[in-house]
Structure 1
Amino acid sequence: MSLFLALALLAGPAEDVQVAVLGHAVSKGDRLEAGDFTMEGRTVAAARGALGIEDAAGMEATRNLAPGTIVRRTDVMTPQLVRRGEPVTIKLASGTLLITASGRALTGGGKGDMVRVVTNSTSRTLDGMVDGSGVVRVSAP
């Protein structure tokens, strides 16, 4: 929550506060950018829980959002770098040894999230951590 919005909430419901709202429709899975927002006056009660532009920019929409929507924490999530059903590169690193294999994601996640993948060659299911876009790092068994 922005400092301005927090101060306005303390001031009481007498005035409208400026809050960030979407300037256009955003589809589920789209990444929000600072340019997607405009500032509008809303009542203090309506502005409760609103994310500031700096907090929402770079996040991914969890549902379709209409123009004029005040974005809240439940409307966005960390961007998904691995998506369920999509191909991934599975990396196993131990010291200077690096082994890679192709596979498929069984669950999705963002950077640092634990996901489950299956290797294409052996159909073995592994748990690993999202290391980047389409890359999952697993530990030696």
Structure 2
Amino acid sequence: MRLLMFIAATLFSADVASSDILVAARTLRSGDIIEASDYAIAEGNVAGAIDAATNIAGLEAKTAIYAGQPIQAGSIGAPTVVARNQPVLLIYSQGGIFIATEARALGRGGAGDSIKVMNLASRSTVLGVVQTDGSVKVK
């Protein structure tokens, strides 16, 4: 019975095409900025792995990536602009109204990332988008 199941699985299984993916050339710690020498091209078919045609130099490792391990899309991102517990300028701008106050980042994030920040005056927590200058803008 097992032999019959093995033969059926072998005959009817689809061939999975492999493609060129990026693998770590050395162990990358969380927070490391990736350089071109930090990754290499390898053949494989790992779900979620970054295609070899993608340039990831200048991005940041969001998790530890060990040497030889495929680089997953969720493991890298924009470099951190705001660190956790860092004081930031919290900005609200709508129409003719502009409000700016001091806040503390409750998470880390790069430009364009959404993070929670705590308004130091009211102690309320809001969600905002990190700007390239390190401020956080709320809508």
TM range (shorter): 0.5 to 0.7
Matches within 5 A, 1:15-54: 18-40=20-42, 42=43, 44-45=44-45, 47=46, 49-53=48-52, 54=54
Please give the alpha-carbon distance, in whole angstroms, between the structure 1 residues aligned to 2:65 and 2:125: 36
Instruction: Name 1:86's counterpart in structure 2.
Output: 86
Q: Is the alpha carbon distance of 1:107 and 1:120 closer, same or farther for their aligned partners in structure 2, counting shifts above 3 Å? A: same
Q: Is the alpha carbon distance of 1:122 and 1:48 closer, same or farther for their aligned partners in structure 2, counting shifts above 3 Å? A: closer
Identical columns (%): 28
TM-score (ref. length: structure 2) = 0.64
Please give the alpha-carbon distance, in whole angstroms, between the structure 1 residues aligned to 2:47 and 2:125: 43
More helix by share: 1
Q: Greater Rg, structure 1 or structure 2?
A: 2
Matches within 5 A, 1:2-21: 10=17, 18-21=20-23
Gaps of 5+ in 2: 1-15
User: Alignment RMSD, CA only?
Assistant: 3.0
CA contact (8 A) 2:20 2:51 kept: no
TM-aligned CA deviation for residue 28 of structure 1: 0.8
Gaps of 5+ in 1: 1-8
Instruction: Name 2:4's counterpart in structure 1.
Output: none
Instruction: Name 2:10's counterpart in structure 1.
Output: none
TM-score (ref. length: structure 1) = 0.63
Q: Secondary structure at the match of 2:41?
A: strand
Please give the alpha-carbon distance, in whole angstroms, between the structure 2 residues aligned to 1:90 and 1:62: 24
Instruction: Count how many residue pairs are aligned between Structure 1 and Structure 2.
Output: 123
Please give the alpha-carbon distance, in whole angstroms, between the structure 2 residues aligned to 1:48 and 1:126: 35
